[in-house]
Amino acid sequence: MEKHYNYSLKKLNTFNIDVKAKIFTEVNSTEDIEALISDDTFLVNERLVLGGGSNILFTKDFDGIVVKIANKGITVVDEDQDFVYVKAEAGEVWDDLVDYCVMNNWGGLENLSLIPGQVGASPIQNIGAYGVEIKDVFHSLLAVNIFSGEKREFFPDDCRFGYRDSVFKNSEKGNYIIFSVVFKLKKHKHNINVDYGNIKDECAKLNITNPSIQDIRKIICSIRNAKLPEVGEIGSAGSFFKNPVVDYDKFVELKSKFPELVSFPDNDKVKLAAGWLIDKAGWKGFREGDYGVFPTQALVLVNYGNAKGMDVFSLGMKIIEKVRDMFGIELETEVNVL
Ligand SMILES: Cc1cc2nc3c(=O)[nH]c(=O)nc-3n(C[C@H](O)[C@H](O)[C@H](O)COP(=O)(O)OP(=O)(O)OC[C@H]3O[C@@H](n4cnc5c(N)ncnc54)[C@H](O)[C@@H]3O)c2cc1C
């Protein structure tokens, strides 16, 4: 394991923020990860486990060790009449896994097409899009406790998945490095989920009445490409905020003031579209210098070139304040701010 000092992270975070890590190293195998956690440099310094850097906003240099996870491999570990169990190493690019599974006609991941980042991070915030979250297809993961060196398998109940949430963002935050994740995917009779966003409209436009998982992937890729900043072109970390979940009384109060409010049922509560609130508060398309709010999706804060992480963060705080004043709603960041 080679260590680099004062190492630029600009190309390793999708916000393209120009910061440096005091120490940087890359791990390419489970053995590398095991060696790393018994290395003093890792234990005595502040640590950051880095996947694709697509859910992180750096506001300053990282005064510790950044470990880029780069172990690769996708294998079928089990199979029965209806399901295939696919294991992917943490360093696999998420969308390469989705592509591979869709090509093999294994159903379950297609609605999560084109989400940036790596497999190892997918359970951390229970990634979700177009009506599907990874908890819907998650079988288990293997991780190592960085303090005890103990390897542990986590099953769905152990992960305590919630909306953009899991045990790894709460009681186990910073305690584990994930080696690999196993997904339980359907070999046939796929659950085609077209209920979210404008997937149905796109199917109609293309005259598709019975979409396959391959059709769903294609449609979602084209919707996402049209709506979201392209990674590598414009810096962002996707949704900067979570959609707030409110109780029914609050929803009724807001709906009477703002009849066009965009919302979705969420068990006995209501989820509000944070993008709509931000747009209504006047921020959509805002730009100052190199930072701003993406014109086609108000949930996404962007770096158009050489913005500082702190500028983006301050903009986020101003948006939170305005939304609080206007709607009495407290937005929470989805992005990890460091
Ligand atoms: C344009 C764009 C669109 C996006 N769209 C979506 C979307 O639709 N839905 C969605 O849910 N997210 C979305 N995101 C956010 C992001 O892609 C996901 O959160 C993704 O899972 C982050 O993966 P990563 O590998 O980049 O993680 P990183 O940003 O590198 O890390 C995220 C967190 O996971 C931890 N971590 C990473 N790997 C490991 C590991 N192996 N073991 C332990 N901890 C680890 C890190 O320490 C950090 O806390 C989007 C981002 C962008 C830029």
- Tell me, yes or no, if 334 is annotated catalytic: yes
pLDDT tens-digit readout, 183-196: 999 999 999 988 88
pLDDT of residue 99: 98
| Best of 16, 27, 55, 293 for a ligand 1 pocket test (most atoms within 8 Å of beta carbon) | 55
| Best of 115, 293, 299 for a ligand 1 pocket test (most atoms within 8 Å of beta carbon) | 115
pLDDT of residue 288: 95
pLDDT of residue 198: 86
- Tell me, yes or no, if 47 is annotated catalytic: no
Query: Within the chain, how many helices (H) and strands (E) appear?
Result: 9, 20
135, amino acid identity: K
Residue nearest to atom 23 of ligand 1 (CA): 117
In angstroms, the Cα distances linking 280 to 229, 237, 273, 275, 284 are 21, 22, 11, 9, 8
- Tell me, yes or no, if 164 is annotated catalytic: yes
Residue nearest to atom 34 of ligand 1 (CA): 121
Question: What stretches in the chain show pLDDT beneath 70?
Answer: none
DSSP state letters, 109-160: SGGGTT--SBGGGTTTTT-EETTEEGGGTEEEEEEEETTT--EEEE-HHHHT
Catalytic annotation, pick one of 26, 92, 164, 236:
164
Angle, helix 94-103 to helix 213-227, in steps of 10 degrees: 150
125 and 165 Cβ atoms separated by less than 8 Å = yes
Q: What residue ranges define each of the domains in the chain, with the CATH number in brackets?
A: 3-69 (3.30.43.10), 74-227 (3.30.465.10), 235-337 (3.90.78.10)
